[in-house]
Amino acid sequence: MHTQALLTGLALTFTIPLTSPTPPAFAVADGCTAGVSSDVDGDGWADAVVADPLAAVSGQPQAGRIVVLYGDADGRVGEGARAELHQSSPGVGGGPEAGDRFGAALAMADLDCDGYTDVVVGIPGEDIAGLADVGWVRVIRGAPGGLGAGAGSTQYSQASFGHAAGAGDEFGYTVDAVEDLGQGGTPEPDAYALAIGVPGADSDAGALAVRAAFDGGSQTHWITQDSPGVSGASEPGDRFGAAVSCNYLSGIAGEIDCVVGVPKEKIGSRANAGSAVLVEDIYYPDEYSGRSLSQNSPGVPGTAEAGDLYGSAVDTVLVGGTARIAIGAPGEGIGSREKAGAVQLFSSNTTHVTPGAALTQNTPGVAGVAEKGDRFGSAVAWIAPGLGDPRTRLAVGVPREDTKKGKDTGLVQVFRADLLSSDVSWTQQSPGVPGIAQPGDRFGEVVATIAGGTERVLLVGLPRDQQNPVGMVNVIPFGGGAPRAWVPGGSIPDPVGNSFGSAIGGVDGGSA
């Protein structure tokens, strides 16, 4: 039976002890000043990267590509020149093969602190040594001439983490990267954490591969639910690593933590109930620990139920001394309405993690009504304050929302972190939003946010858009400005494929 506790927004606290209650001032990393977080060519204007993982390349179906949309002097995100990259492009390496799905996951961060944002590309369909869908990851370097114009890419595989490759591992199914702004006194420029989801490993039990660079060296870890200190147990079918987001969240102040989705975790007899694990302090194997942030954790509203798929989507943000976590449970039932969906919120002030509201379309004051099959929480994306907007905001995708235009047209709701009832809804029927709302569009299946120096935008990927069968991205500025769209054709090369918008600048487009 689905509990009404989900709708109460209870905020109870469980404490995570820290070695230091005071976080450092994250301003400079090894002489690298934090700047525009999505600027691959270093010109001061925000760029976007959009994936098209099912695009054909050199006659190879579903080899995949990414499109870089550069910013320019008009100040709008991604409205300058465009460039297409794939596995045979200069600075990328490798070669396109059928089914690689290059770009199925993306992340952006300045990993080498040179002032140019690098792009991490997941390639979960890559076959290796005759094994299908082993997967790998490439880090493509930003440079003055654009993405890939400088040093060659760095390739990572299971072997990079001391682990044997297996068919169906899907190494690179999800990726995240964080520039380590807490390593300001180290002698070398590299200071970052790179997290790679491997949900197909070990019969879909899953794993998280982590590379942490600091103090002139690096550590690599292969983390599972059987790792010492990590909660839960590694079981076939769990899909640990199907979602991941890393940030300064809790644990030792100044060290990076990751929230890992385990959407098909079986809890008791409840299949696919799902969970999420907060892996703290990922620098050393003898330091990190994993704590459950599931619906069975103390203070979390609701209970774990079969089919919730809790942990299908995760995102984090750090604003000042407060970190926020959002965990999607698109299979959550609300009353008798199956798969209506929910999002569980947490906050941390680096001394403890506090469960917040379980946000649904039935939360008091929120627009809409929880309905069967909506899948609220299929995608989540935070955006920090900026450009005169003092609010931290959360975008939630509701891709199976039915509207007057038909079934599964989709919806995105944007919430203020400090006032959840003050939400704004967007569809392709909203004034000024390009496109036509049609059945099966699934608007909200992919959401991302980018904050540039002169514009902050909500990006909504529609790889299934019916009007544009190759896919599209809606660009909706926060704080005013006319919405616009990016659609293949013209300055964006028109591929043989139908998945443009499957992932955007750090938000994965896969499903659990």
Residue with tokens 């976080």: 23
Q: For a pLDDT cut of 70, what percent of the chain falls above it? A: 88
> Does the pLDDT at position 511 exceed 50?
no
Q: What is the rounded distance in angstroms from the CA atom of residue 415 to the CA atom of residue 478?
A: 12
Quote the distance between the C-alpha of residue 471 and its chain's center. 19
What per-residue confidence (pLDDT) applies to 183? 52
User: pLDDT category, 248, cuts 50, 70, 90?
Assistant: confident
Q: pTM for the whole thing?
A: 0.91
Going by C-beta distance under 8 Å and a sequence separation of 6 or more, which residues neighbour residue 29?
A: 113, 179, 180, 181, 182, 183, 184, 191
Per-residue pLDDT for 315 more than 60? yes
**Rounded-to-integer distance, Cα 346 and Cα 358, Å:** 9
Mean pLDDT, residues 309-333 taken together: 95
Helix (H) or strand (E) holding 456: strand 456-462
Given a cut of 50, is residue 23 above it in pLDDT? no
pLDDT of residue 218: 84
Domain 4-486 sits in which CATH superfamily? Integrin alpha, N-terminal (2.130.10.130)
- Give the C-alpha separation, 111 to 391, whole Å: 28
Q: Higher pLDDT residue, 210 or 150? A: 210
pLDDT at 466 over 90: yes
Q: CA–CA separation, 417 vs 392, rounded Å?
A: 6
Per-residue pLDDT, averaged over 211-236, amounts to 89
Q: Kindly tell me if the per-residue pLDDT of 34 is higher than 60.
A: no
